[in-house]
Amino acid sequence: MHGAVSTMGYFEMAKTAIKTVMSRPATLMYPARPGKMTTLSRGHVVIDVSRCISCGMCMKKCPAEALCVDKEAKTWTIDRLRCVVCNSCIEVCPVHCLTMEGHYSSAVLAHSGLETFTITYVKPERPKKNESGEPAEA
Amino acid sequence: MSKKIVVPFGPQHPVLPEPIHLDLVLEDETVIDVVPSIGYIHRGLETLVAKREFTEYVYVAERTCGICSFIHGMTYCQGVEQIMDLEIPARAHYLRTIWSEYSRLHSHLLWLGLFADAMGFENLFMNSWRLREFVLDVLEETTGGRVIQGSCKVGGVRRDISDEKLAAMAGDLKSFETELSDLSEVFLHDDSLKSRLVGVGTLSRTDAYDLGAAGPVARGSGVAIDLRKTGYAAYRELRFEPATESAGDCYARCAVRIRELFSSIDLIRQAVETMPEGEIEVKVKGMPDGEYFSRSEQPRGELVHYLKGNGTKHLVRSRIRTPTLTNVPSLVKMLQGCELADVPVIVLSIDPCIGCMER
């Protein structure tokens, strides 16, 4: 033993013990109390397939090479196991069809972690031009 | 004279969060020599620089380390900005400084917890990590990430912190500081801790200097080297002194880190008080052409990012030197002559970050 515990030591210990007994637990009782989440929290990437123009910018700027945009097949594929949730794709998307959800994505069931979405965006038809080059009235 | 035996320590060991292997040459219970082997988790992150655009590589640079990730990202960005002659706004410098100091707080608290755990002091470990949660919450509220912040970019920062939030952060630091004082009391004045730390793993000032020790290991031995004094980011406008101790033992290294916690709180307060208004980023035009050694002070010591560009969107070379690598020779010196039972505590006292070291 390294010396006797001083009276002050007992006071200190009693103070800590009483504080611990009286206060709430430091840990959250998950899932009874939901985990903390802020407006900026990065959970997983979500795509609005009705707005994606298949430009492929997200694929080019993804540092983890987790995204694949197939213009021919009109699909947007994300590898949830490769994605590092860095927010890069969301920043570069010109039509803002990608968003970041605060919650983590659910457990990946597919062996590869791939999730494929079919892009439903239809390019609006341009108004036909008449012979003089002026756009025809709708 | 007794027989020499070799006892392997690691790569899997209860005290090591990451893999490093040490062959301990023992004579009875005394360590007479140590042969370290590294390279268990090399990931080739430096090579990736040639395959990612220089603006995207910051995400990779940040993931070099899971603890001081922000400082890795910042050091990389500073390097590219220097090559491209980019002058970033003052507010971005201040925001970078604030996040760096929060990273230091969370790294040191993590280390204090692990250190207590290495000595078998479970309760102190949990209390340190409970305090660390406060820092992680602030980082998540301001950047969106607890340990990988992703808020630094070439040309500035991605997110601003509102003035109200800054004031709230400075206010919250008061109660944090009080709790930290209670915690540091135990680390610095508890008898059982002192008996495990004082006079253990001593590194003299000359050895620290000659073996190239960095960060708290060097400062614990009296070598007052702190890269923040070079004045990168907003440090040139803030007042602080490097924390140094002269004993060079495990207790001194622990004391240096505890003093740095308080100095970080003070730096955050100063940065919040003098935070300039204005933009947080500048537009990046052109491609990096040239080379630069970007240096900064990580929680563990001096971090160097060497970057070289050739005028294309991919850099041609990145070389990262982390403080843990430079502290390994010092660790070998500290272990020579110690008792086998003290090895875990001494290994932890350099705050080894193997993920960083092997990249």
CATH code (residue B278): 1.10.645.10
Do the chains contact at A91 and B158, CB–CB below 8 Å? yes
- Which stretches of chain B score pLDDT less than 70? 1
Look at residue B271 in the predicted model and tell me its pLDDT: 92
B69 to chain A nearest CA, in Å? 13
Number of domains in chain B: 1
A115 to chain B nearest CA, in Å? 23
Whether the pLDDT of residue A134 is over 70: the answer is no
Look at residue A2 in the predicted model and tell me its pLDDT: 45
Do the chains contact at B150 and A3, CB–CB below 8 Å? no
Whether the pLDDT of residue A133 is over 70: the answer is no
pLDDT in tens, B231-283: 888 888 888 888 898 888 999 999 999 999 999 999 999 999 998 988 888 88
Alpha-carbon gap, residue B4 to B2, rounded angstroms: 7
Alpha-carbon gap, residue A70 to A67, rounded angstroms: 10
Q: How confident is the model at residue A9 (pLDDT cuts 50, 70, 90)?
A: low
Alpha-carbon gap, residue A53 to A91, rounded angstroms: 15
In order of A2, B298, B322, the CA distances from B114 in angstroms are 23, 18, 20
pLDDT in tens, A14-57: 887 888 888 887 777 778 887 778 888 888 899 988 888 889 89
Shortest CA distance to B105 belongs to which of B224, B261, B215, B214?
Answer: B261
Question: Fold for domain A44-118?
Answer: Alpha-Beta Plaits (3.30.70)
Q: Which two tokens mark B233?
A: 């980011």
CB atoms within 10 A of CB A2: 9
Look at residue B96 in the predicted model and tell me its pLDDT: 92
Q: What is the DSSP string of A25-50?
A: PSS--TTTSPPP--TT---EEEE-TT
pLDDT in tens, A65-123: 899 999 888 899 998 888 888 889 998 999 999 998 887 777 877 777 788 888 888 88
Residue of A nearest to B153 (CA): A88
Omega cis (within 30) before B17: no
The range of the structural domain enclosing residue B201 comes to: 43-350
Question: What does pTM read for this prediction?
Answer: 0.87
A2 to chain B nearest CA, in Å? 7
Look at residue A137 in the predicted model and tell me its pLDDT: 53
In a domain, B228, yes or no: yes
Residue of A nearest to B142 (CA): A40
In a domain, B169, yes or no: yes
Omega cis (within 30) before B8: no
Do the chains contact at A86 and B59, CB–CB below 8 Å? yes
Domain spans, chain A: 44-118
Which residues fall within 8 angstroms of residue B148, CB to CB, at 6 or more apart?
A84, A86, B62, B63, B66, B69
- The shortest CB-CB distance from B59 to any of A2, A3, A88 is to A88
Q: How confident is the model at residue A132 (pLDDT cuts 50, 70, 90)?
A: low
Look at residue A20 in the predicted model and tell me its pLDDT: 81
- Cβ contact B311:B290 at 8 Å: no
Whether the pLDDT of residue A6 is over 70: the answer is no
User: Checking phi first, is residue B201 left (phi over 0); if not, alpha (psi -120 to 50) or beta?
Assistant: left
Alpha-carbon gap, residue B301 to B297, rounded angstroms: 5
Do the chains contact at A26 and B133, CB–CB below 8 Å? yes
- Cβ contact A49:A27 at 8 Å: no
Q: How many CB pairs under 8 A join A and B?
A: 44
Look at residue A117 in the predicted model and tell me its pLDDT: 82
Do the chains contact at A40 and B133, CB–CB below 8 Å? no
Look at residue B268 in the predicted model and tell me its pLDDT: 93
Residues of A in contact with B148 (CB under 8 A): 84, 86
- The shortest CB-CB distance from A87 to any of B137, B141, B150 is to B150
Do the chains contact at B144 and A42, CB–CB below 8 Å? yes
Do the chains contact at A61 and B192, CB–CB below 8 Å? no
Shortest CA distance to B333 belongs to which of B214, B244, B230, B201?
Answer: B201
Which residues fall within 8 angstroms of residue A57, CB to CB, at 6 or more apart?
A89, A92, A93, A94
